[in-house]
């Protein structure tokens, strides 16, 4: 069950623990043009990524990349971590779906915390633009960085890998 929205509209989800409050503050800093975290993200050279260790087993991956054709989508899930993906600059599309609707292409790699899937016709498309956050759980097969038109804009974003034990979802 992915959660998608503007960062500020999801603030209530981060009030349950000190670790999540820390995460929210980090994400807020990432969207603040005057903060060094934001500057580090938008100044990341194209086609590179940088890993930054945070607290309690969380880490950030700062990325900058050109969009790709949906035919080249990379479908994935994770077991140990939940992905918090925040777009800082640009617009990207995602294809998402439930893992029960996909066939595994590459079995679980524990070192990378990664399962790769074959394309499925049972996906939904999402558009994330600047300031939007996508939270992808272990059942959410997701493929990001996709272009849905002729524009080939570059994206700058941060992906926070959050251990599942930190997120206590209660609806």
**pLDDT (average), residues 125-146:** 95
**pLDDT (average), residues 103-124:** 96
Q: Using the 8-state DSSP alphabet, how is residue 72 labeled? A: G
Tens digit of each residue's pLDDT (9 = 90 or more) over 115-128: 999 999 999 999 99
Start-end of H helices in the chain: 18-31, 36-42
Count how many Cα atoms sit within 13 Å of the Cα of residue 5 in the half-sphere of its side chain. 8
Write down the pTM of the prediction: 0.93
With 70 as the cut, is the pLDDT of residue 151 above it? no
Give the span between the Cα atoms of 42 and 40, in whole angstroms: 6
């Amino acid at each position: 069950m992915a959660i998608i929205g503007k960062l500020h509209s999801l603030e209530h989800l981060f009030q349950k623990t000190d670790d999540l409050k820390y995460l929210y503050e980090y994400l807020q800093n990432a969207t603040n043009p005057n903060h060094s975290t934001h500057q580090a993200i938008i100044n990341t050279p194209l086609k590179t990524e940088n890993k930054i260790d945070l607290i309690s087993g969380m880490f950030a991956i700062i990325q900058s990349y050109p969009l790709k054709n949906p035919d080249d989508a990379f479908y994935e899930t994770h077991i140990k971590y939940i992905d918090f993906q925040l777009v800082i600059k640009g617009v990207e599309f995602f294809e998402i779906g439930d893992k029960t609707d996909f066939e595994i292409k590459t079995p679980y790699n524990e070192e990378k915390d990664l399962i790769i899937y074959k394309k499925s016709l049972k996906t939904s498309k999402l558009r994330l633009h600047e300031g939007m956050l996508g939270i992808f759980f272990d059942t959410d097969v997701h493929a990001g960085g996709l272009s849905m038109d002729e524009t080939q804009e570059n994206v700058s974003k941060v992906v926070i890998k959050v251990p599942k034990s930190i997120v206590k979802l209660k609806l």
